[in-house]
Amino acid sequence: MVCFRLAPVPGSGLLLLCLVLGAVSSYALELNLTDSENATCLYAKWQMNFTIRYETTDKHNKTVTISDLGAATYNGSSCGDDQNGPKIAVQFGSGFSWIVNFTEETSSYSIDSISFSYNTNDNTTFPDAKEKENFTVSDRVAFSVPLNDIFRCNSLSTLGKNDVVQHYWDVHVQAFVHNGTVSTKEFLCDKDKTLTTVVPIVPTTVPSPTTTPSPKEKPEVGSYSVVNSNGTCLLATMGLQLNITDDKVASVININPNTTNFTGSCHPQTALLRLSSSSIKYLDFVFAVKNENRFYLKEVNVSMYLVNGSVFSIANNNLSYWDAPLGSSYMCNKEQTVSVSGAFQINTFDLRVQPFNVMEGKYSTAEECSADSDLNFLIPVAVGVALGFLIIVVFISYMIGRRKSRTGYQSV
């Protein structure tokens, strides 16, 4: 026999951020499964929400986000037996069901598959749904964790398939708990490993359709920084405009710094700046060191929600932009374009970045982009041309003056 305690706890740690973003409350789900001896055999605590797209009777696509899992039940969760592995089964709302199962290997266990079901028959959650039936999406995760370790991922993880995008964060899970004691040894997901300052990225209600504020408008300049134990280690000031050309539908999106979160990490050879917002899952700028004395923008990795709810993701780790000597910053006031792919470009305005060797939280001397220095080069030319022109004007006036005075003499 298996018994379990369940405790949906409001995500108190996230309350402040939720209020700031005006997002709906999020609930931490917690499950402590015990075996016949009352010893814990599976422990999990996590948060999740779901964004579902469906077709309406008038042939439009609608998107809903399910994030209130307050009254969840855990029927069908089990520690497994000889035939079946452990699984967590959660039911909430009107006909939602979420199941994850685990498998044991010799020295590790796997988070095997995640399956999510929803019923569009519920006309309050899915108003005007064309098809009224039960849908199920299943994803093979096959994520391996060392046996006797607890898996932790505070960062946002996303699973997207068909019409459903699943978000998970603040995840703690250990299957195959031995001796009834949940491990204190954490096995971190890659994202938690790279981020020194982990800001829980809370997805808001509906991934707001990427609004297009008149494209020609210049984006507002934002100031971003990354802090590690030694203080500020990365600085960036820039106005960003994203240009997506997908399916011949171009959309130009200005990033609003007021509603953009940022985080990142600094290492000796690489530095990361990550921006995110309700419509941008992540926009990563990865800087690297080359030839031991210069830095450059090496990689851009982006994932964002399009108007119709689908997710647009592109990465290029073979870029070469914003190149400047280590110990200085890179500056470009003119509009510049970072071409990530044929379908994705970033236009930058009033750019200044320093991903390495930041001293006392301030920018070091700037190396200017060629566009700006062309401008600087043009100034002496312009001054020369103006001077030459002035000389000609003075000379002509002098000649006219002379001729006039000569006429004056003749009339006398």
Ligand X SMILES: *[C@@H]1O[C@H](CO)[C@@H](O)[C@H](O)[C@H]1NC(C)=O
Nearer to ligand X, 224 or 400 (CB): 224
User: Given the rule CB under 6 A, which residues bind ligand X?
Assistant: 5, 32, 34, 37-38, 40, 43, 84-85, 101, 103, 112-113, 115, 123, 138, 148, 178-179, 182, 215, 220, 228-230, 243, 245-247, 249-250, 252, 256, 258, 301, 306, 308, 310, 315, 317-318, 345, 347
CB of 39 to ligand X, least distance (A): 8
- The amino acid that residue 213 corresponds to is P
Nearer to ligand X, 80 or 92 (CB): 80
What's the min distance (Å) between Cβ of 373 and ligand X?
Answer: 22
What six digits make up the tokens of 260?
Answer: 């953009």
In the complex, the smallest distance separating the C-beta of residue 374 from ligand X, rounded to whole angstroms, is 20
Instruction: Give min distance, CB of 402 to ligand X, in A.
Output: 55
Nearer to ligand X, 323 or 407 (CB): 323
Q: Which residues neighbour 155 within 8 Å (Cβ) at sequence distance 6 or greater?
A: 169, 189, 191, 192, 195, 198, 201
Scan for tokens 């981020």, then name that residue: 195
Q: In angstroms, what is the minimal distance from the CB of 388 to ligand X?
A: 37
CB of 379 to ligand X, least distance (A): 27
Shortest Cβ 29–ligand X spacing (Å)? 13
In angstroms and rounded to an integer, the radius of gyration of the C-alpha atoms of the chain is 30
Q: Which is nearer to ligand X, 343 or 394 (CB)?
A: 343
Q: Of 270 and 301, which CB lies nearer to ligand X in the complex structure? A: 301
Closest of 140, 165, 169 to residue 152, by C-alpha: 169
Residues paired with residue 275 on neighbouring β-strands, in sequence order: 262, 283
The residue among 189 and 366 lying less far from ligand X, judged by its C-beta, is: 189
Give CA–CA dist 69/79, Å, rounded: 23
When the beta carbons of 23 and 244 are compared against ligand X, the nearer one is: 244
Q: How far is the CB of 368 from ligand X (least distance, A)?
A: 22
- In the complex with ligand X, the residue whose CB is nearer, 7 or 391, is 7
- Counting Cα atoms < 13 Å in the Cβ hemisphere of 203 gives 30
